[in-house]
Structure 1
Amino acid sequence: MVQVINQLTSVPFLGVGIGYRQELKQETLRSHAKIDFLEIITEHYTNNSRMLAELEEICALFPVIPHGISLSIGSMTPLDKQHLRGIKRVCEVTQAPYYSEHLCMTKAPGIDLGHLSPLWFTEEVLERVIQNVLFVQEYLERPLVLENVTYYFDIPGNHMSQTEFFNRLVAATNCGVLLDITNVYINSVNHHFDPLNFLDQMPLEHVVQVHLAGGYWLNGLLVDGHSEPVQEESWHLLQALVDRCQVKGIIFEHDTNFPPMELFLQQIQRAKQIIRKDKGA
């Protein structure tokens, strides 16, 4: 446990980067001087020797953080040990200072949900997640950094808020937080709460990394589509966050409807100006 704590506090400043996508491969490589680091989707590289070889080439140009989408840290079923072995291999190739995933569930007994489903915030689920996080951190030999997800309906039967769940989880495991600013904004719009109050209730001293993306409206809901430029409200929340805590890295996510690389670089530059002010530059 002490080793994991030390690893989390010694995570280097990473700067501002983007989520690496094959559709943007050539533009990303050509722009490497303007992109501080990359975040990859881990599952694209596990059990795939060709992709692992490509990953080694990417790591020669950029610091790389692996980000998972299917560990299902909140499931009541056992974690997939084969998947964990693949994750560990990717972490070793990238020499990542931490591994990030979503605080959610993607699997139920006999079912692959195919979605980042929110958790029930109950004592039983909290205890299970604590056990899973401790196991994963020990197995991977690096801190686990967990991301807040969007949800589009309130799950009945919660015993605590999302922020209380995060605080108690962090206190028990010393894991890190990947604060998705856009998810905070989207949830605040769809569920009518104050996003600044949400930030103030989170364990900000454990925030390591930030996600920013753009959403769209569908049937009266704001959807986390990773398909549009970052909304101005999310930029305001980013500024509010860096006014409150130190952030080691910011990643822009885009999964479809890809804009020209120039737009990514403009967003990166804007975020760099914000985070540099936080560092007193």
Structure 2
Amino acid sequence: MRGPDDRPGPPVNVRSERMPVNLASIPYLGSGLGYREELADGIAAARDEIDFVEVLADKYISQPRLLDELREIRDLYPVIPHGVGLSIGTVGPVPPDYLAGMRRVSDVSGAPYYSDHLCMTKVPGIDLHHLAPLWRTEEVLESIIGKVDTIQQTLGKPLVLETISYLVDFDSPISEPDFFHRLTERTGCGILLDLTNVYSNSVNHLFDPLEYLQRLPLDHVVQVHLAGGFWAHGVLIDGHSHPVPEEVWELLAELCRRIDLKASILEQDANLDSLRPLLEQVWRARSIMRNPVVA
């Protein structure tokens, strides 16, 4: 028997009238944690300490039989699906089967928005297995605007796109902040501001992270990511493996002095032996969001 979560969506990859997007209607979610199977038992037991969780959407897109697991998580916490396989910068439309999978996961999660990355993970015929930066041109911008419109129309909710870390950037005619300005102005979509990525990029490419923040359309920032990385051969790597560095906490406080941030997620994919250090960082993020003046 089909439940309300499994209702069929509209036809995919068919452009229609642009859906009005109201980021202000997204509720305050608070401070949460990236859901990882290794932490499942601890996360279930910490319901008073974690406001919401972020799940890896592609797991459920590629394995629809696991949607019952997603429903169980949703029954414990508010859930935000976070994708890695959209590859919105790839030439051509979003594959219909992938877009249909996004819709299923989005509906089952009951989330107020769906997030992925402003990047490429594929080129025709090749999976890069990497979040690669875009060559930010007028043609690429127009292509992405069309795909964002299609996705938001299909999901019936905002798409929120994440800033990525990069070791090599192209000499693009449009800067990343200007690209986000024009994309959000045309589509109404949101931004997932990965503050660790901003900090790592600023260190590796020698720019001021605060100046970068000032140039973004901060009124479209819905959520942030926080994580800790490591140094390798003189390069700061966003490894999702260590505590959030103090410089990133300072960026979070500065951001929260400027906007009413709706959601913060701590990401950690390695060194998962204990939940307690992660919860302490979730608490710290919540404290900064509530009172950034004394952070």
TM-score, length-scaled by structure 2: 0.91
Q: Is the 2:257–2:293 contact (alpha carbons within 8 Å) kept by the matching residues of 1?
A: no
Q: Distance in 2 between matches of 1:154 and 1:37?
A: 33
Q: 2:168 aligns with which of 149, 153, 157?
A: 153
Deviation sequence 1:40-87 (CA, Å, 0-9, x none):
000111242442111111111100000000101111132111011111
Identify the residue that residue 222 of structure 1 maps to in structure 2.
Answer: 236
Q: Distance in 2 between matches of 1:233 and 1:47?
A: 37
Match of 2:194 among 157, 174, 180: 180
User: 1:244: how far off?
Assistant: 1.0
Deviations 1:186-236 (A, max 9, x none): 000000000000000000001100000001001110001011110111000
Counterpart AA for 1:163: P
- Quick one: distance in 2 between partners of 1:259 and 1:186? 25
Tell me the CA shift for residue 4 of structure 1: 3.5
In the alignment, does 2:221 pair up with 1:207?
yes
Q: Is the 8 A contact 2:254 2:292 kept in 1?
A: no
CA contact (8 A) 1:100 1:147 kept: yes
Which of 93, 99, 102 is matched with 2:114 structurally? 99
Match of 1:45 in 2: 60
CA contact (8 A) 2:54 2:82 kept: yes
What's 1:269 paired with?
283
Q: Which position in structure 2 is the counterpart of 1:24?
A: 39
In structure 1, what is the equivalent of residue 135 of structure 2? 120
Superposed structure 1 runs of 4+ greater than 6 Å apart: none
Aligned counterpart, 1:86: 101
The aligned counterpart of 2:10 is none
Q: Is the 8 A contact 1:4 1:137 kept in 2?
A: no
**CA distance, structure 2, for counterparts of residue 48 and residue 114 of structure 1:** 18
Moved more, 55-64 or 76-85: 76-85
Aligned partner of residue 184 in structure 1, secondary structure: helix
Once residues 152 and 5 of structure 1 are traced to their aligned partners in structure 2, the CA distance between those partners, rounded to angstroms, is 33
Query: CA contact under 8 A between 2:227 and 2:244: conserved in structure 1?
Result: yes
CA contact (8 A) 2:18 2:149 kept: no
Structure-2 change in CA distance of 1:237 and 1:259 (3 Å): farther
Determine the C-alpha separation between the residues in 2 that align with 1:266 and 1:2. Answer: 42
Letter in 2 for 1:212: L
Residue-by-residue CA offset, 1:73-130 (whole Å, 9 max, x unaligned): 1111321110111111111111110000100011111111111100001111111111
Distance 1:39 1:134 in 2: 23
**Corresponding residue for residue 253 of structure 2:** 239
Counterpart secondary structure, 1:178: strand
Q: Which residue of 1 aligns with 2:50?
A: 35
